Amino acid sequence: MTVRKKYHLIIFTWFLFGSIFGLLSLYVHESFIIILIGLAIFLGTYSLVLKCQNCGKSVLRNTVNLFGMKMDMVTARIPKTCQKCGIKIE
């Protein structure tokens, strides 16, 4: 499975199970919020270890140009090419 497909699967899982456990914690029992937080931590960690297939750089950590300042930060989308080695990220 490609990095991009894995990332789309993470987003899909988050919206599906996030809304299910969010509703359960609102209407059934508050303790479902623990599962929700656990899910957020798990999916967040998993998305950060998604790496470029060529050089191993995390695909979500990118240098962005913010009002003229270059900042290294975690972005919500995967760029078309790797910022370190320039290979196309699939």
CA distances from 31 to 24, 35, 55 (A): 9, 8, 41
Write out the binding residues for Zn ion, residues 38-57 only, by CB under 5 A.
52, 54-55, 57
Q: What is the full DSSP assignment across 44-71? A: HHHHHT-B-TTT--BTTEEEEEETTEEE
Binding-site size, Zn ion (CB under 5 A): 7
Task: In angstroms, give the least distance from the CB of 42 to Zn ion.
Answer: 25
Q: Select the span of 7-15, 18-26, 39-47, 79-87 touching Zn ion (CB under 5 A).
A: 79-87
Q: Which residues bind Zn ion (CB under 5 A)?
A: 52, 54-55, 57, 82, 84-85
